[in-house]
């Protein structure tokens, strides 16, 4: 075990391990520090991956129930929550185990413990029993973020954050989801499918703030019918923990007059960066008041040999942003002149229906006074969507009026997250909207809706009747 | 034995000077004035002598580094009291030497920190308007290409990888052309001289390479005209001879060059367009109100041109002293960039060697240069008979963009007049 290395990576999430592996492949001697026993960070252990496993189960449950309408009736499902959780954990350990196998041939040394900077060239790793100082030439801070804790929530086992929710300890009774963002709505989908009665409370006037309202609307319509209630423009002011439940007081537009009783609360009101907990000041690395570490386009902090990537450098807090950032940091350290400057980063909510958007949203275009046009294709006219017994989807494409270039898109419907990738590529390549319309899409697929939304914009669509055609 | 840091001496205001040679290594014993580094500024190369005595413990600069006045060069273990220490007590010295730690220094970076690179300068690029995919944007970044300058050939004017390659290729071939001075000129053929007999290859000295580039540029840039003339210096030499013995005793070497410098200054005052430079746009003449004269000095490594400042305000004796000090410095390679800056007019004297006339090249941004050849006694027809006179051949090259032929001749006549009767210098 050497205590002086070329590169130390703090945190083994998708950004951190990507950076470590890439740097190792470029010839660097790398130590990857992870506080937990399993590498992979939030995403693999308590985030994207386990939630997707549970969402898959939820989807099958829902689809089976919906097949009633098609003349196929299953009996009431028998849900063994412990078995489901074990299966989910198996998926996770398969991936994290796989990561360790990927680290080995690269000679990336994984050190378990909590890392804090001692100086601009040293970190101390504390694994609870001993402290070890590692000297480094370069460091990449990939220490991620943690769920925001609301100060008024009592300390009670029935109140969980996203990590607790994924553990699937108890799935009976009434669930209150605090925060109608992506994480809250995904977990609401799972818990509802497993049989809980779900209430969602959100301070803003729509679910998934940041996405256009017309894209969120089909999701809202669907969950409104399924969940007990969705309280918009409402906030929780008090939670009282009693033996028979959690009594919640609301305030705002949708607030019930009396405190309501819940069996469980999921707090999913956002995440905050971990910039405050790595001793950055000892290395001279600047951390802003919110806990973010400012970086340049090469992911370099104010200290030129220390880099930072992922959630800790700013929004959006997404694994698919952290991964390319990690690559850039590793490559810059290895002497390459690379920059992180994507044209667009997509966002996806794996709810049912899925919601995905990329580039400029309509809200943003309006706020900035941009001159844009749009093409919206309703999936009610998509044979593939109807044959899936779904008709609420929409594909919306935004186009720069001056150049006819694709600048953004929003999609809602099953598999929206897969469809958004094509438009992300279109934005990166500077495609005209016509390029999308002229690209042959396989029939019948949901991907056709991308080409059709372009045709709607062009006025050349034949799968709909548009009274006013352009040409 | 204490360790001491040796910092770069006053480099004459020059900053970021390239280190082209490190002449000592760890363990070397160095004495006062032992050459430590060779630096190359835009004017010349110079050696940095040691200001201390001791054994080298650590070398803080590498070939290719850029250093400025005060940059740390070496850490030495001093063995004896040094000149500097005699002047000031040892404990007072520490705060005097600027404590620039190698880590924070921007100019001198020690070798063991290769990864502490300065952030790349970001080329301004607007992803919103440029039509180029991510792979093309990356290759543009790698070559530092501003995509706004690249001609696009892809569908719908998309910039392709080939477009970047073409752009870089074009830039390189342009740069090569400019570097070798081939502004569209054919290059000399490469000849295998060994075919014709025995040959030996020798590297040009640093100074030769450097001055060669400048001379070539000046030769191509400036339309040269050379005006010849002859000055009767019989009386001047008589006067100089009379003073010589006395001044020699004082250690002052009164050369004809000192008189020529004074005469040139008087001529420059009469013709201010000779004490001028053309501005970069070529639209304006910058007239100078000071009189700094460059004097070409022949050194074993090549030609250097130190500058004597404010010649108009100095007496013959003082000029003589300064001139010999500068020549000595030049021969010891100790001239700083400062010593070679700010000249208004240059004098190149080959009088000590021989020859009748030559055509010197103007030292841009100056507009004229005086060549001095060897004086000889010639018969001059005076009144009704030939009289033997000591005649000094002069060659004045000037930039014809600034100076007309008539003015060139007038300057020469004035200069000759001043030299033939040095009493005129008093007027």
Q: pLDDT tens digit string along A230-250?
A: 999 999 999 999 999 999 999
Residues in B touching A298 (Cβ below 8 Å): 119-120
Please provide residue A112's backbone torsions phi and psi, each rounded to the nearest 5 degrees.
-90, 135
Q: DSSP of A152-191, one letter per residue?
A: TS---TTEE-HHHHHT-----SEEEEE--SHHHHHHHHHH
Q: How far is B134 from chain A (nearest CA, A)?
A: 6
pLDDT (0 to 100) of residue B85: 39
Q: Which of residues 155-194 of B touch A (CB under 8 A)?
A: 156, 158
Q: CA gyration radius for chain B?
A: 28
pLDDT (0 to 100) of residue A228: 96
In whole angstroms, what is the distance from residue B364 CA to residue B218 CA? 6
Residue of B nearest to A334 (CA): B115
pLDDT (0 to 100) of residue B70: 77
pLDDT (0 to 100) of residue B14: 67
Q: How far is B75 from chain A (nearest CA, A)?
A: 23
Q: Is the pLDDT of residue A384 over 90?
A: yes
Residues in A touching B132 (Cβ below 8 Å): 430
Please judge whether A305 and B142 are an interchain contact, meaning their C-beta atoms are less than 8 angstroms apart. Answer: no
**Partner-chain residue, chosen from B127, B133, B144, that has the shortest CB–CB distance to A341:** B127
Q: Is the pLDDT of residue A443 over 90?
A: yes
- The residue ranges of DSSP E strands in A323-418, in sequence order, are 347-349, 355-359, 372-378, 394-400, 406-412
Inter-axis angle of helices B405-420 and B234-249, nearest 10: 60
pTM listed for this prediction: 0.62
Task: Assign A333 to helix, strand or coil.
Answer: helix
Residue of A nearest to B144 (CA): A337
Q: CA gyration radius for chain A?
A: 24
Q: With an 8 Å Cβ cutoff, is A301 touching chain B?
A: no
Helices (H) and strands (E) in chain B, counts: 9, 19
Task: Assign B189 to helix, strand or coil.
Answer: coil
**Partner-chain residue, chosen from A333, A337, A339, that has the shortest CB–CB distance to B115:** A333
Please judge whether B133 and A338 are an interchain contact, meaning their C-beta atoms are less than 8 angstroms apart. Answer: no
Distance of CA B361 to the CA centre of its chain: 14
The two beta strands, B345-349 and B368-372, are parallel
Q: How confident is the model at residue A389 (pLDDT cuts 50, 70, 90)?
A: very high
Q: Which of residues 61-80 of B touch A (CB under 8 A)?
A: none
pLDDT (0 to 100) of residue A195: 94
Residues in B touching A305 (Cβ below 8 Å): 113, 115-117
- Return left, alpha or beta for B374; rule: phi > 0 is left, psi -120 to 50 is alpha, else beta: beta
Residues in A touching B119 (Cβ below 8 Å): 296, 298, 300, 304
pLDDT (0 to 100) of residue B334: 85
**Partner-chain residue, chosen from B118, B141, B158, that has the shortest CB–CB distance to A337:** B141
Q: Is the pLDDT of residue A72 over 60?
A: yes
pLDDT (0 to 100) of residue A126: 95
Q: How many CB atoms lie within 10 A of CB A72?
A: 9
Q: Is the pLDDT of residue A8 over 70?
A: yes
In whole angstroms, what is the distance from residue A193 CA to residue B312 CA? 99
Residue of A nearest to B155 (CA): A431
Provide the β-strand partners of residue B389: B378
Worst-scoring range by mean pLDDT, A200-204, A431-435, B192-196, B413-417?
Answer: B192-196
Contacts 24+ apart (CB under 8 A), A153-157: A153/A239, A153/A265, A153/A267, A154/A239, A154/A240, A154/A241, A156/A241, A156/A246
The mean pLDDT of chain A is: 95
pLDDT (0 to 100) of residue A241: 96
Please provide residue A305's backbone torsions phi and psi, each rounded to the nearest 5 degrees.
-100, 5
pLDDT (0 to 100) of residue B333: 83
N-to-C CA span, chain A = 71
pLDDT (0 to 100) of residue A435: 92
Residue A328 CB contacts under 8 Å (≥ 6 apart), including other chains: A298, A299, A309, A338, A339, A340
Average pLDDT of the residues in A265-276: 96
Q: CA-based angle B384:B387:B390, to the nearest 5? A: 150
Q: How far is B23 from chain A (nearest CA, A)?
A: 29
| pLDDT values of chain B reduced to their tens digit, one per residue, 427 residues | 567 778 877 776 667 778 888 888 888 888 777 788 887 766 566 777 787 778 888 888 888 788 877 788 888 886 544 344 343 343 433 333 334 333 333 333 334 444 444 444 444 455 457 888 888 998 898 888 999 889 988 888 889 988 999 999 888 887 765 555 445 566 778 888 888 889 998 888 888 888 888 898 899 989 999 999 999 999 999 999 898 888 888 888 889 999 999 999 999 999 999 999 998 887 889 999 999 999 998 888 788 899 999 999 999 999 999 999 998 888 888 888 888 889 999 999 998 888 999 999 999 999 999 999 999 999 999 888 999 999 999 999 999 999 999 999 999 999 999 999 988 887 7
Assigned token pair, B315 = 């007496």
Average pLDDT of the residues in A108-118: 96
Q: Kindly tell me the sign of the dihedral angle through the C-alpha atoms of A201, A205, A210, A213.
A: positive
Q: DSSP of A6-75, one letter per residue?
A: EEEEE--SHHHHHHHHHHHHTT--EEEEESSSS-SHHHHHHSHHHHHHHHHHHHHHHHHHHGGGGT--PP
Q: With an 8 Å Cβ cutoff, is B405 touching chain A?
A: no
Please judge whether B115 and A138 are an interchain contact, meaning their C-beta atoms are less than 8 angstroms apart. Answer: yes
Q: Is the pLDDT of residue A100 over 80?
A: yes
Q: How far is A335 from chain B (nearest CA, A)?
A: 8
Provide the β-strand partners of residue A394: A378, A412
Q: Which of residues 87-146 of B touch A (CB under 8 A)?
A: 113-120, 122, 125, 127, 130-134, 137-138, 141-142, 144
The CA dihedral of B219, B225, B230, B231, to the nearest 10 degrees, is: -80
- The residue ranges of DSSP E strands in B8-44, in sequence order, are 17-22, 29-30, 35-40
Local structure of residue A300 (DSSP, 8 states): B
Average pLDDT of the residues in A72-100: 95
Q: Kindly tell me the sign of the dihedral angle through the C-alpha atoms of B307, B308, B309, B312.
A: negative
Q: How many CB atoms lie within 10 A of CB B102?
A: 18
pLDDT (0 to 100) of residue B24: 84
Please judge whether B156 and A333 are an interchain contact, meaning their C-beta atoms are less than 8 angstroms apart. Answer: no
Residue of A nearest to B142 (CA): A337
Average pLDDT of the residues in A24-29: 96
In whole angstroms, what is the distance from residue B144 CA to residue B123 CA? 7
The CA dihedral of A36, A40, A42, A47, to the nearest 10 degrees, is: -130
pLDDT (0 to 100) of residue B247: 86
Q: How far is B6 from chain A (nearest CA, A)?
A: 26
Catalytic pick among A121, A305, A338, A443: A443
Give me the interface pTM, i.e. the ipTM.
0.71
pLDDT (0 to 100) of residue B176: 66
Assigned token pair, B90 = 């040892």
pLDDT (0 to 100) of residue B182: 47
In whole angstroms, what is the distance from residue A375 CA to residue A397 CA? 5
- Return left, alpha or beta for B383; rule: phi > 0 is left, psi -120 to 50 is alpha, else beta: left
């Amino acid at each position: 075990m050497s205590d002086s290395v070329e590169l130390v990576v703090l945190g083994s999430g998708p950004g951190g391990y990507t950076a470590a592996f890439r740097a190792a492949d470029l010839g660097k001697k790398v130590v990857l520090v992870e506080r937990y026993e399993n590498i992979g960070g939030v995403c693999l252990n308590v985030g994207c991956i386990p939630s997707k496993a549970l969402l898959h189960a939820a989807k099958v449950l829902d689809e089976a129930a919906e097949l009633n309408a098609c003349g196929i009736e299953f009996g009431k499902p028998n849900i063994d929550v412990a078995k489901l959780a074990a299966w989910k954990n198996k998926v996770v350990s398969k991936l994290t185990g796989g990561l360790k196998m990927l680290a080995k041939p690269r000679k990336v040394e994984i050190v378990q413990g909590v890392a804090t900077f001692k100086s601009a060239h040293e970190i101390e790793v504390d694994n609870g029993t001993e402290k070890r100082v590692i000297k480094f030439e370069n460091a990449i801070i990939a220490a991620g973020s943690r769920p925001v804790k609301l100060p008024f929530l009592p300390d009670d086992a029935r109140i969980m954050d996203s990590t607790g929710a994924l553990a699937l300890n108890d799935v009976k009774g009434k669930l209150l989801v605090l925060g109608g963002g992506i994480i809250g709505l995904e977990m609401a989908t799972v818990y509802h499918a497993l049989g809980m009665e779900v209430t969602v409370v959100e301070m803003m006037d729509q679910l998934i703030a940041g996405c256009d309202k017309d894209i969120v609307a089909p999701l809202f319509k669907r969950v409104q019918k399924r969940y007990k209630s969705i309280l918009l423009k409402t906030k929780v002011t008090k939670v009282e923990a009693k033996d028979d439940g959690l009594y919640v007081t609301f305030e705002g537009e949708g607030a019930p007059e009396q405190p309501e009783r819940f069996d469980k609360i999921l707090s999913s009101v956002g995440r905050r960066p971990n910039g405050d907990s790595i001793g950055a000041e000892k290395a001279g690395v600047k951390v802003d008041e919110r806990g973010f570490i400012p970086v340049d386009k090469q992911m370099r902090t104010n200290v030129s040999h220390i880099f930072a990537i992922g959630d800790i450098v700013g929004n959006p807090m997404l694994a698919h942003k952290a991964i390319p950032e990690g690559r850039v940091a590793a490559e810059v350290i290895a002497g390459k002149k690379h920059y992180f400057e994507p044209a667009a980063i997509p966002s996806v909510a794996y709810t049912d229906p899925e919601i995905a958007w990329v580039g400029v949203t309509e809200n943003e275009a309006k706020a900035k006074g941009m001159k844009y046009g749009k093409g919206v294709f309703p999936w009610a006219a998509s044979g593939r969507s109807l044959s899936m017994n779904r008709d609420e989807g929409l594909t919306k494409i935004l186009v720069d009026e001056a150049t006819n270039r694709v600048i953004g898109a929003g999609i809602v419907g099953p598999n929206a997250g897969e469809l958004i990738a094509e438009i992300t590529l279109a934005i990166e390549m500077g495609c005209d909207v016509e390029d999308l319309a002229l690209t042959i899409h396989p029939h019948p697929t949901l991907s056709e809706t991308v080409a059709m939304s372009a045709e709607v914009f062009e006025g050349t669509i034949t799968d709909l009747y548009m009274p006013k055609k352009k040409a | 034995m204490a360790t001491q840091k040796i910092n770069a001496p006053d480099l004459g205001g020059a900053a970021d000077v390239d280190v082209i040679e490190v002449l000592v290594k760890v363990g070397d014993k160095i004495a006062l004035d032992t050459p430590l580094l060779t630096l190359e500024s835009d004017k010349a190369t110079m050696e940095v002598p040691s200001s201390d005595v001791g054994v080298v413990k650590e070398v803080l600069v590498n070939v290719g580094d850029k250093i400025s006045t005060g940059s740390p060069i070496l850490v030495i273990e001093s063995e004896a009291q040094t000149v500097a220490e005699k002047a000031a007590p040892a404990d007072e010295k520490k705060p005097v030497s600027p404590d620039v730690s190698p880590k924070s220094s921007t100019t001198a970076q020690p070798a063991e920190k290769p990864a502490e690179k300065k952030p790349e300068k970001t080329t301004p690029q607007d992803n919103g308007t440029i039509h180029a995919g991510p792979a093309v944007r990356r290759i543009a970044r790698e070559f530092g290409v501003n995509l706004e300058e690249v001609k696009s050939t892809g569908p719908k004017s998309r910039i392709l990888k080939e477009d970047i390659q073409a752009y870089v290729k074009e830039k390189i071939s342009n740069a090569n052309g400019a570097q070798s001075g081939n502004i569209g000129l054919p290059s000399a053929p490469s000849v295998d001289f060994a075919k014709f007999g025995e040959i030996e290859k020798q590297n040009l000295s640093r100074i030769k390479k450097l001055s060669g580039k400048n001379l070539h540029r000046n030769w191509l840039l400036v339309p040269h005209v050379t005006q010849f003339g002859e000055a009767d210096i019989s009386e001047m030499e008589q006067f100089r001879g009379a003073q010589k013995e006395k001044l020699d005793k004082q250690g002052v070497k009164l050369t004809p060059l000192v008189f020529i410098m004074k005469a040139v200054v008087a001529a420059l005052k009469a013709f201010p367009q000779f004490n001028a430079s053309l501005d970069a746009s070529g639209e304006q003449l910058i007239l100078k109100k000071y009189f700094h004269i460059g004097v070409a000095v022949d050194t074993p490594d090549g030609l250097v041109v130190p500058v004597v400042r404010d010649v108009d305000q100095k007496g013959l004796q003082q000029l003589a002293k300064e001139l010999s000090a500068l020549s000595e410095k030049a021969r010891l390679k100790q001239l700083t960039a400062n010593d070679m800056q700010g000249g208004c007019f240059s004098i190149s004297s080959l009088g000590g060697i021989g020859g009748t006339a030559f055509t010197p090249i103007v030292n841009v941004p100056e507009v004229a240069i005086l060549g001095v050849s060897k004086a000889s006694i010639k018969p001059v027809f005076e009144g009704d008979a030939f009289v033997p006179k000591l005649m000094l051949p002069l060659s004045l090259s000037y930039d014809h963009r600034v100076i007309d032929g008539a003015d060139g001749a007038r300057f020469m006549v004035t200069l000759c007049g001043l030299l033939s009767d040095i009493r005129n210098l008093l007027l």
